[in-house]
Structure 1
Amino acid sequence: MASEEEPRTSEDPSTKNITAFGYTVQAQELAANGCYSKAFDLYIMAFEYCPEVKVRVEPEFRRLLDKYNEYLLTLNKIGDIFYNFERSVECYPGNIFILNDIGKYLYKFGYLREACCHFQKALNFDVGFVSAEKNLNSVKNYMIERWHYRMLNDKVRNGGYRDALREMIVPLKETILDLGTGTGLLAMYANECMPMMITACDGSDVMVELASNIFEDHLIEDIILVSKMSTALTFRDIGGKRSLIVTELFDAGLFGEQVLQTLTHAFEHLMAKNARIIPSRAEFFVAGAKCDSLSFKYRLNPSALEFLAIAGHNVQIVTTDPYDSEDIQFFEDLKYVTEPTSLFKVNFNNLEDMQEKLGSGEPYEASFYAKENSEINIIIGWFDLYLTENIMITTNPLDENHATAWQQAVFYDFVPFPVTADEKSSVKFTSYGGKLAVVPDYKRIDRISPEMLRFLNDEEYVKTVTSTIGAVCIYLCQLAEISLLNIVDLSPFPLVGFLLLKRGAQNLTCCARSQDDEKFILKILKANNLPTDKINMVTEEDLSIEQFKDQKFHVIHGNIIDLNGDINTKHKELLRQLKLSHLSPGGLVLPHKVFLEGKLVSCDWLDRSNLIDDANTGEYNLSKFMNKYQVSQMYHIDIPHMPHKTLSEVATIAQCTEGCISEVINVKPVDDGDVNAILCWYKLQLVENGEFLYTNRSNSFVDSMAFMANPKITIKTTDTGNILRCVDIDETFKLLVDVE
């Protein structure tokens, strides 16, 4: 007799698969109709019912997760966003894209350490994941600004402060407050002198935690850390008023980090009677100079003004900062036109003196006596910092032993003026609120974005376009009459469009980064008697492929390189779509090709802003903590003005205007040394068979970038160097180096 069939304890796998597939189909329909919550739940049900379906639907699930979280963000439902991520990670525990997205949201909401952890987790699963590494670098830069590294690597500054503290501290008596302690190095120097009490404060929770870990590692228990700005403290918060204040809240312009506000508050609320301050006083100097390579970073050069038919006008960058900062000693074309002159002195141990400088509306006047007939187009500023009456450090670039923690101030926001040998000229500066600025010039100054100014000041690029435009025009006239040409020019200034309009073209679509740029473009068109009624101006914010509807263009001119030297993936994708769907038959896309080039280098200047060398801080081991925050990529590199040693031949690393994949590029060493970076720039070819234009030069419209080697790699001329190009799905890339 046949036995009865055993009842099934589970569904047939094929049935599960069909059911799960049905859930995903419903989820797709719901997602298409904006029902993200229900769609999300259906996907989760499908995964629970049949885990095998997860692999097949992963891309569409992630797209839904993105849209759902964007929607929740508009409702400020932060908890729901992270609950979605929690459920998603349970389904895809090692998914690098989800981990990266979690990191981005954590970063957005200020959870910096947690964001770092998630970006690092993604990189642990895939070391070649470019997006996660770029995001990790962004968080690290936000958590610890690069100037901390310059400051801690400055032996002159560190030694000066250490000696000053030893001179000023009375053992077992002094009570000390370190304002803006950062890593706590000055507090540790003070602790060597056995004071009665030390409190160190900082407004950054990250820096306070870092300082706490450094103190613990060095078995220092006597320093009290307070995670607050000193201006938010009372003497009760720090256990009483203090007899000695030490601070380093300075920038290139001396007062830019609000040191006057900080110290006047300390005088009134935190300092005991007869308390002293390190540094005790300072003197600020200025000198008139001529330096075209600096000046042309901030104002249009005469040839650009003449080219645009606005000769004699004053056009400068839009800026919120009254000065820039640079390592002046690296600019070989800089010439001091005047002798240095003292602009002011400040006594940090005198409350009235600091209050007067904070509140006075009276300007400082710099009297310059010219050494020769010339022009002043830049004013250089630096300071002498008297830590005590016996110890002084300076940022004077003419002093070989100057401190390197601070760069020199570059004052540029004025109209250049001629000077005559031995005659006096005057420039007035204000310090209202404590920050120095040249008194505004009464002459009219037009303002444009830095991107537009640098683009127009690139004489080689403008010359290349100008010399090519005739041949371009002849070619285009074979496609249509000149008056019927339709042009889109998305460069910082529509250079190709402008030149074609001058030759009779009528229709131009261009992009303006700001209202200032829009006004300037219209001003140039009017100055050249060009029609403006058929100009379609799109803002950078609104720039998308949808803007172009069904238009067709005979010429597409664009720029895919950001000012900082990185590829702009938004512009690159937009130009790709324009070429694919909006280019007339036979039309031109300019530039024709863009290549990334690079070489292996050894560069101490890069390391100084990215790694701590403990030899510079005395016997304190700060590298163990600070070097966790080193970044793998650095931008805004000015190659002609950055000292470095070339260790390899130049290699073409990528073709940026076309798709590229991960690949190893061999490079030939030319010298022995320790590679710490791959220095990169671009090679452009405007038209097919045209000459190449390189961006690793002075006054290029874009800066360069560097991919850092971690750790450094020793290379010899007998070796073969390898550059590994890692490429993401969106064609962003990073570079690694090794040697064989």
Structure 2
Amino acid sequence: MPNASARPKNGRRSRRRRREDPARNELVSSSLESAQQCLFNQDYGTAFVHYLLVLNLAPMFKDFAKDSFRFTLFKWTEELDSVGRIQDLFDCYEQALELFPADEVILNSMGEHLFRMGFRDEAAGHFHKALKLRPDYPEARENFYRVANWLVERWHFLMLNDHGRNRKYQQAIQKAVQSGCNTVLDIGTGTGILGMCAKKAGAAEVYACELSKTMYELACEVLAANGMDGSIKILHMKSLEMEVPKDIPHKVSLVVTETVDAGLFGEGIIESLIHAWHHLLLPPQRGENEFQEQSATGRVIPAGATVFGMAVESAEIRRHHRLCVSEVGSLSMSAAGELHSPVSCSSEPDDSMEPYTTERLSRLPGGYKSLTEPFTALDIDFNNVQELEGLSSREVRRIHLPVTQEGELDALAVWFQLHLDEESSLSTGPQEDTCWEQAIYPVHNFYWLSNELIVEVSCRDAYLRLCSVAVLRDGREIRLDKRLDSQHCENPVSNPNPEAELCSALACLKTDQNQTKDYSMLECSEMALLNNHDYHKSFCSALTKLISQLKVKWQNQERRSGDQLDCSDLFYVLDVSEGFSLLSLIAASRGHVKAYSSVEKKKQQEVLKRLARSNNIPEDHLEFWLNHVEDEQGMLQRPSREKLWSAIILDCVETCGLIRQKLMEKASLARCLLEEGGSIFPAKIVVHGMLVESDTLLLESAVQGQEPTLGFNIAPFINQFTVPVHVFLDFSTLECRHLSESAELFVLDLMNATANYTDREVKVRATSGGRITAIPFWYHIYLDQDISVSTFSQNSHWKQAAVVLQQPLEVQAGDWVCLTVKLHKSTISMTAHVANAPRPMEQ
């Protein structure tokens, strides 16, 4: 013990005062003054450097300078972003966080940049930190909800709620371990559930790998909560990068995985298993009985799969992948060339195209019609490495399918049966009560099936490719991939639809051979938008009405002033829709209008130019505004300043069913740029909703129930990523009980700022008793006072969204439910409680 008598008992050491450094103080003072002057001059880069110097030398100024420093940081990083200096941008944020490590605003802003750059895991970490520092910070909360949909996809919840699937995997793993598979590797572990099943079954060693940083961290939390963090080694890496003994000490006897998508091979299971068999797994079993107990051999769960397909007719699939109308908003589309979605399957790999998309056929709006019986497309044995390696070089298989119902061929639908072992399997078929969607291989041209369809199956690049290649008619094979032209004008099928027959006949009259080479790819939602007849008809009417009103106003001004109207003066219309839009061209076709389009892609601009020429629209009446703008800050500003806009068309609703971010800010700017009598389209958006009871939405939003999943505590950890708003919802086919009529929930007035509010309380009467689990909502988009379109119409290109309540609300028929609806920066949120409201007659 030190000598206590060395110092007086009650003595205190006098505290040394820090010696003043005049030179240092002068530098701080001059740098602070320079920072403020640079800020005034909008020299944000220099201002940022001065602030860094001041705050590093004199931390006592942090509170005083925080707001100015933040403003400078955000302005400077915006400039860096605009010129592509991404590394410098993130260096600035790192320097800022060294000074203010607990600043939730800076953390959130850096997260937004990371998310835009595609670094979703890192963005989520910053949003999460910001929320921990300030749980009521709305920007960080909304950003976290947005990124959570990317990081923990909704199918994770569905799979964990799929008790049948979980039990079958558990039983297959238990059997394998008990038969001697003592060392296990779980590839793509997700929440860690399959690895934990192996450990619980008695495996001596269990390893797991996970590429997603978010899911890796989540799995680590789950393992720790279940007391297995010391007995299961989890690696944050691809299985393709794993080596023995660097990452695991020796080869394992069992690989468990579910790295399969709706098209079976889309998540790279073939490549992963080939690598595993060569580098991570013991050699496969030899002998007639594949599942006999045998030591020092390896195996895989699932053991294999069988893929099934079926030809289908579906108007919903059709309108998302090819043009189904000959006219859009009074514009003839004959000169558009070939327009189709980027989803197309051919036997030759094409990096610009996706071979398939996915749909849940049981929830497809309008349903579907089976044109053939289901057929077996492919069998694969995951325990046969030679078969896996030979998959890509398999000969193309041709399958002849008798047509069981005549109809229009829109797609091949594909699903599979996953064989876990010799006794147990899982099906992803459309009739199954499953968490899986089906793979959809769309057809881009019109074909009527009546006799026989020929399909080719291949796996050239380890993707499953199914191509509808030919039909048989009168014993002759007619290829479907040959475009109709003047040399191939024979109608390939007998078509009972006169209108479609006429379209096919017109296609045969083409004389310009080069015209068939004109094609452009649009996103699926853009194709559906082109096919939305009511949407374009409504815009056509509203634009015509506005132009007529403005012409009358001009004529009245002419009469009052006595001046002659300048016929060369045009109305100016700006369309700032996201993606491909014909609204600018529709505006230009109204006459006396110069329209500006925000279409960016050169090939799509060419489509608009061809349509303008073919519809007799003067070339100088259509311009592409973004060709003249270097950054989006000036998006709503006029390129020529002599005249304000007559109309500005805003894209207000995302395809997923949410209001577009910063809509109200854009509307505020747009109002300032309108000429007197001009209009924003749409002028107003009314949000409608309904009370429903839907177990489906609950299952897709969070792990349900109080019981642990297979005995493991997983729900509290993955449910951190539960989001309150479910998007991309087809309300027309959602399994639910309606507990109320639809009601008006909120109004966004884009033309009148004083009419807007940030929150509203709405009372909705329950028409049936039950549990309110969600409030689906959609929009009536008013182009003017009389003309509107709905995002809930049958041919809408929009989906709907739903607020899912954290706790279901019990109601009786006749109860009044009080909804508090809030709008924060274009994000809608809702809460609900039963209200003791008077009867309607007493109100």
Cα deviation for residue 471 of structure 1 reads: 3.5
- The whole-number CA distance in structure 2 between the counterparts of 1:306 and 1:364 is 44
What is the match of residue 414 of structure 2? Answer: 381
Cα deviation for residue 699 of structure 1 reads: 2.7
Name stretches of at least 5 consecutive residues in structure 1 with no aligned partner: 1-19
What is the match of residue 594 of structure 2? Answer: 507
| Match 1:447 to one of 498, 521, 532 | 521
Cα deviation for residue 576 of structure 1 reads: 3.4
1:345 is the counterpart of 2:375: no
The change in CA–CA distance for 1:355 and 1:162 in structure 2 (over 3 A counts) is same
Cα deviation for residue 677 of structure 1 reads: 2.8
- The whole-number CA distance in structure 2 between the counterparts of 1:587 and 1:206 is 49
- The whole-number CA distance in structure 1 between the counterparts of 2:140 and 2:833 is 21
- The whole-number CA distance in structure 2 between the counterparts of 1:286 and 1:482 is 60
What is the match of residue 685 of structure 1? Answer: 782
1:406 is the counterpart of 2:414: no
What is the match of residue 708 of structure 1? Answer: 804
1:477 is the counterpart of 2:569: no
Q: SS state of the match for residue 425, structure 1?
A: strand
What is the match of residue 659 of structure 2? Answer: 567
- The whole-number CA distance in structure 1 between the counterparts of 2:530 and 2:37 is 50
Cα deviation for residue 257 of structure 1 reads: 0.6
1:318 is the counterpart of 2:342: yes
Range with bigger deviation, 481-490 or 698-707: 481-490
Q: Deviations over 1:622-680 (max 9, x none)?
A: 10211111122232222223222333443333322434333232232423333333322
What is the match of residue 536 of structure 1? Answer: 623
- The whole-number CA distance in structure 1 between the counterparts of 2:93 and 2:412 is 51
- The whole-number CA distance in structure 2 between the counterparts of 1:167 and 1:669 is 54
| Match 2:693 to one of 586, 602, 605 | 602
- The whole-number CA distance in structure 1 between the counterparts of 2:724 and 2:624 is 38
- The whole-number CA distance in structure 2 between the counterparts of 1:32 and 1:306 is 49
The change in CA–CA distance for 1:549 and 1:132 in structure 2 (over 3 A counts) is farther
Q: Deviations over 1:585-632 (max 9, x none)?
A: 222332232122223333333332321125583222210211111122
| Match 1:247 to one of 246, 257, 266 | 257
1:309 is the counterpart of 2:317: no
Cα deviation for residue 308 of structure 1 reads: 4.0
The change in CA–CA distance for 1:328 and 1:213 in structure 2 (over 3 A counts) is same
- The whole-number CA distance in structure 1 between the counterparts of 2:58 and 2:822 is 32
Alignment of 1:149-298 (within 5 A): 149-170=157-178, 174-220=182-228, 221-236=230-245, 237-273=247-283, 274=285, 275-298=298-321
Cα deviation for residue 351 of structure 1 reads: 1.5
1:118 is the counterpart of 2:209: no
What is the match of residue 723 of structure 2? Answer: 631
The change in CA–CA distance for 1:97 and 1:369 in structure 2 (over 3 A counts) is same
| Match 2:831 to one of 730, 736, 740 | 736
1:415 is the counterpart of 2:445: yes
Cα deviation for residue 254 of structure 1 reads: 0.7
2:759 counterpart letter in structure 1: E
Name the larger-Rg structure: 2
Cα deviation for residue 547 of structure 1 reads: 5.0
- Whether the 8 Å contact between 1:253 and 1:408 is mirrored in structure 2 is yes
- The whole-number CA distance in structure 1 between the counterparts of 2:249 and 2:598 is 58
- The whole-number CA distance in structure 2 between the counterparts of 1:389 and 1:307 is 60
Range with bigger deviation, 326-335 or 106-115: 106-115
2:383 counterpart letter in structure 1: N
- Whether the 8 Å contact between 1:166 and 1:190 is mirrored in structure 2 is yes
Q: SS state of the match for residue 433, structure 1?
A: coil
- Whether the 8 Å contact between 2:157 and 2:701 is mirrored in structure 1 is yes
| Alignment coverage as a number of residue pairs | 703
Cα deviation for residue 263 of structure 1 reads: 0.8
Q: SS state of the match for residue 619, structure 2?
A: coil
Q: Deviations over 1:192-248 (max 9, x none)?
A: 332343222222343333323323322335333233221111232322222222211
- Whether the 8 Å contact between 2:36 and 2:47 is mirrored in structure 1 is no
1:67 counterpart letter in structure 2: K
The change in CA–CA distance for 1:429 and 1:467 in structure 2 (over 3 A counts) is farther
- The whole-number CA distance in structure 1 between the counterparts of 2:520 and 2:89 is 44
The change in CA–CA distance for 1:425 and 1:731 in structure 2 (over 3 A counts) is closer
Range with bigger deviation, 220-229 or 255-264: 220-229
Range with bigger deviation, 451-460 or 709-718: 709-718
- Whether the 8 Å contact between 1:283 and 1:346 is mirrored in structure 2 is yes
2:404 counterpart letter in structure 1: K
1:612 counterpart letter in structure 2: V
Q: Deviations over 1:368-426 (max 9, x none)?
A: 2212321111221101111112212111113xxx3623211111153241111xx2111
| Match 2:773 to one of 676, 687, 699 | 676
- The whole-number CA distance in structure 2 between the counterparts of 1:38 and 1:385 is 59
- Whether the 8 Å contact between 2:584 and 2:622 is mirrored in structure 1 is no
- The whole-number CA distance in structure 2 between the counterparts of 1:45 and 1:272 is 57
| Match 1:335 to one of 369, 375, 382 | 369
What is the match of residue 40 of structure 2? Answer: 32
- The whole-number CA distance in structure 1 between the counterparts of 2:588 and 2:90 is 51
What is the match of residue 653 of structure 1? Answer: 745
What is the match of residue 81 of structure 1? Answer: 93
The change in CA–CA distance for 1:534 and 1:607 in structure 2 (over 3 A counts) is same
- Whether the 8 Å contact between 1:157 and 1:405 is mirrored in structure 2 is no
- The whole-number CA distance in structure 2 between the counterparts of 1:166 and 1:42 is 62
- The whole-number CA distance in structure 2 between the counterparts of 1:495 and 1:252 is 34
- Whether the 8 Å contact between 1:260 and 1:358 is mirrored in structure 2 is no
1:397 is the counterpart of 2:430: yes
- Whether the 8 Å contact between 1:482 and 1:504 is mirrored in structure 2 is no
- Whether the 8 Å contact between 1:244 and 1:277 is mirrored in structure 2 is yes
- The whole-number CA distance in structure 1 between the counterparts of 2:672 and 2:543 is 23
Range with bigger deviation, 536-545 or 200-209: 536-545
1:386 counterpart letter in structure 2: H
Q: Deviations over 1:437-478 (max 9, x none)?
A: 345945455322345323222222123234455544432332
Cα deviation for residue 287 of structure 1 reads: 0.7
1:534 counterpart letter in structure 2: H
- The whole-number CA distance in structure 2 between the counterparts of 1:436 and 1:197 is 34
The change in CA–CA distance for 1:41 and 1:179 in structure 2 (over 3 A counts) is closer
- Whether the 8 Å contact between 1:263 and 1:348 is mirrored in structure 2 is yes
Q: What RMSD in Å do the two structures reach over aligned CA positions? A: 3.4
| Match 1:722 to one of 810, 818, 822 | 818
- Whether the 8 Å contact between 1:560 and 1:571 is mirrored in structure 2 is yes
2:162 counterpart letter in structure 1: D
1:211 counterpart letter in structure 2: A
- Whether the 8 Å contact between 1:297 and 1:699 is mirrored in structure 2 is no
- The whole-number CA distance in structure 2 between the counterparts of 1:596 and 1:354 is 52
Q: SS state of the match for residue 689, structure 2?
A: strand
The change in CA–CA distance for 1:306 and 1:428 in structure 2 (over 3 A counts) is farther
Q: Deviations over 1:83-113 (max 9, x none)?
A: 4345457xxx7x7644533554676775456
Q: SS state of the match for residue 39, structure 2?
A: helix
1:318 counterpart letter in structure 2: P
- Whether the 8 Å contact between 1:483 and 1:504 is mirrored in structure 2 is no
Range with bigger deviation, 297-306 or 317-326: 297-306
| Match 2:576 to one of 490, 493, 497 | 490
- Whether the 8 Å contact between 1:235 and 1:241 is mirrored in structure 2 is yes
Normalising by structure 1, we get a TM-score of: 0.85
1:396 counterpart letter in structure 2: G
Range with bigger deviation, 483-492 or 382-391: 483-492
What is the match of residue 3 of structure 1? Answer: none
Cα deviation for residue 719 of structure 1 reads: 4.1
The change in CA–CA distance for 1:50 and 1:167 in structure 2 (over 3 A counts) is closer
What is the match of residue 75 of structure 2? Answer: 67
- The whole-number CA distance in structure 1 between the counterparts of 2:282 and 2:826 is 60
| Match 1:356 to one of 386, 390, 395 | 390
